[in-house]
Amino acid sequence: MGKTLAEKILSNKSGVDAYANEIVVADLDFVMGQDGTSPLAIQAFREMNGQKVFDRARVAMVIDHSAPSPLEGVSALHHGMREFAAEQGVILYDIGEGVCHQLMPERGHVVPGDLVIGADSHTCTYGAINAFSTGVGSTDLAAGIISGKLWFKVPESIKFVLNGELSPGVYSKDLILYLIGQVTADGATYMAAEFTGSAIRAMSVEARFTISNMAIEMGAKVGLMEADQKTISWVRRHTDRPFTPVAADPDAVYAEVREYDVSSLGPQVACPHTVDNVKPVEEVAGTPIQQCFIGTCTNGRLEDLRIAADILRGEKVNRGTRLIVAPASRQVMLDAIAEGIIQVFLEAGAAVVTPGCGCCVGTHNGVPSDGENVLSTANRNFKGRMGNNKAFIYLASPATVAASALTGRITDPRDFVK
Amino acid sequence: MRLHGRAHKFGDDVNTDYIISGRHKFKTLDMKELARHVMEDLDPEFSSKVSKGDFIVAGKNFGCGSSREQAPLAIINADISAVLAKSFARIFYRNCINTGLPVLECDTDLIQAGDELEVDLAAGVIHNLTSGVDIPIKPLPPVMLKILSDGGLVEHFKKHGTFKFD
């Protein structure tokens, strides 16, 4: 019987011929935690009588969510991570290095066919480069750090066949928002999402990361794609570790196959306070916006910043609207400086902040005021997400956010895309 | 094991940001402190309304969103004895089993806010003492039962040093 991508990778890593709904204990290729989850994992590691990590070259801790520290309490937790990293010799990415989900693939820690866990729900991002990667909590992370293994229920798979070609001004963010609106916040719970079709093949690897990143917002465990030549060259630029891409079998069994033609899709906006409350931009155009945010593990990559800069170049952010930009990593920021993109943002009146999670998680760097509307390139718009439960968060593509920053209202970016 | 308390009702898609907000959870590992802020964005008075042993009762997809394990830990420390919902999000569900918080999949339409409940975990049934209705609980997968019966994943690892399900 044929296998899905998820069944293949979990079979390879567990040594068991595994199919959906079976339980396997599998070997992990890489294990990652961030500053919201690592402190509890370190505590669990000690409680489990952990002495040594399974492989210090395959464990990373990333200080990105609340970095640099805005508070004494946060500083103490960061200190604990630095101490643990020094004691165990694991990889530490300290403040300013970037968002964990940018760093894992960028620094070559993930290759096609890998099995990766991260104590962060958006670990599903690396599915875009053909890795089974999924989010776990701190205790699972501790177990993974000690043993190099974790148990998994092999997920059923839901396949999205995305045909056609995205129109100018419409991006992978619009597509994934649209799909989440269609399947809803729990439409793929416990499942692996597989994304395929001509629209995916036409996308850059960076654009594909945006799709896989948001698989969790429909409840999925992972958002997988097959590796094509683009994937292979992208990964080769970031590591020389050998790898074997994994393909789904033609006779693999899917719980559901959903087919879409994306050619007529327009820009989409997720409205407060759930990610699946998605509307075409026309329906919410004109909504006044006080804060715009470009960044995060969803849309803080070089390509995203380029798209935004092309709209902002030579223009000024609307009076009464703030624009905050957080590049996804130091490397992204360096590349953006080299291309003159950061200059464009600064001249337009943006506040460019430290590479990392920025104001997405509500700890620092731009907490909105009561009653304010925020338009963000992030992946979550839950009430209170950005630190104020009386603010309203809308999600959109970098182009929609950049265009709206200029007008001060939610704006269809297609009139601005040159 | 029998749990006894009153129902506090919530709707569908209660995410982990609502259970414990990011603006609190990054600051401390003091779960008693975090417990004071449980569900605060949905009901600012929630933590003061809970009596020891009470239940959170919700609709579908409870615990969606972030992987923060502070969510089940804050619920436990708020003296909630179990969460009852029509369905749970995956990472949260695992985190609850790992930290020893009972999560019970059942038809929560049969429970109203304030109902007095008795949960019989061994028998897999919830007695709604207010309405007189018995509500079956969907059984846990064997692997999760094993981890729960060891007292959570920390205890499982202390005992076995690795994953041991045979």
A133 and A157 in a single domain? The answer is yes
Q: Is B109 on the interface with A (CB under 8 A)?
A: no
Under 8 Å between Cβ of A352 and A309: no
Among candidates A43, A149, A367 on the partner chain, residue whose Cβ is nearest the Cβ of B29: A43
Number of domains in chain B: 1
A71 and A188 in a single domain? The answer is yes
Q: Is B15 on the interface with A (CB under 8 A)?
A: yes
Instruction: Report pLDDT for B69.
Output: 95
Number of domains in chain A: 2
Instruction: Report pLDDT for A418.
Output: 66
Residue A207 lies in a domain: yes
A125 and A171 in a single domain? The answer is yes
Q: Which pairs with CB-CB distance under 8 Å and at least 24 residues apart come from A280-283? A: A281/A396, A281/A400, A281/A410, A281/A411, A281/A412, A281/A413, A282/A412
* DSSP, res A369: P
Name the one residue in this structure whose structure tokens are 């918080």.
B101
Helix/strand/coil percent split, chain A, to 5: 35, 20, 45
- Greater confidence, B57 or B22? B57
Interacting residues of A333 by C-beta distance below 8 A, sequence separation 6+ = A327, A342, A355
Among candidates B26, B65, B70 on the partner chain, residue whose Cβ is nearest the Cβ of A65: B26
Question: For the whole prediction, is pTM greater than 0.90?
Answer: yes
A277 and A251 in a single domain? The answer is no
| Residue range B66-79: mean pLDDT, rounded | 96
Among candidates A219, A367, A389 on the partner chain, residue whose Cβ is nearest the Cβ of B90: A219
Angle B144-B146-B151 from CA coordinates, rounded to 5°: 95
Q: What's chain B's average pLDDT? A: 94
Helix A38-47 / helix A72-88 crossing angle, nearest 10 deg = 50
Q: Which of A121, A141, A191, A273 to probe by mutation at the B interface, max B CB count within 10 Å?
A: A121
Q: pLDDT tier at B165 (50, 70, 90 boundaries)? A: confident
Q: Hey, what are B39's tokens?
A: 């569900």
Residue B53 lies in a domain: yes
Chosen domain end from A221, A236, A260? A260
- The CATH number of the domain holding residue B113 is 3.20.19.10
Under 8 Å between Cβ of B137 and B123: no
Under 8 Å between Cβ of A369 and A290: yes
Instruction: Report pLDDT for B98.
Output: 95
Q: Hey, what are A265's tokens?
A: 């899709």
**Looking at chain A, how many residues does it have?**
418
Q: How close, in Å, is residue B59 to chain A by CA atoms?
A: 12
A281 and A177 in a single domain? The answer is no
Could you give the CA distance from residue A351 to residue A370 in angstroms, rounded to a whole number?
A: 21
Percent of chain B surpassing pLDDT 70: 100
**B89-147 residue pLDDT tens:** 999 999 999 999 999 999 999 999 999 999 998 899 999 999 999 999 999 888 998 99
Chosen domain end from A210, A228, A260? A260
Q: Which domain holds residue A323?
A: 270-415
Helix/strand/coil percent split, chain B, to 5: 35, 20, 45
Instruction: Report pLDDT for A244.
Output: 97
| Residue range B67-92: mean pLDDT, rounded | 96
Residues of chain A with pLDDT below 70 are 418
Q: Which residues of B touch A136 (CB under 8 A)?
A: 67, 91, 94
Q: pLDDT tier at B161 (50, 70, 90 boundaries)? A: confident
CB distance B91–A137 less than 8 Å? yes
Residue B165 lies in a domain: no
Residue A285 lies in a domain: yes
Task: Quote the ipTM score.
Answer: 0.94
**A289-307 residue pLDDT tens:** 999 999 999 999 999 999 9
- The CATH number of the domain holding residue A209 is 3.30.499.10
Instruction: Report pLDDT for B141.
Output: 86
Interacting residues of A257 by C-beta distance below 8 A, sequence separation 6+ = A158, A159, A161
Q: Which domain holds residue B103?
A: 2-160
Residue B166 lies in a domain: no
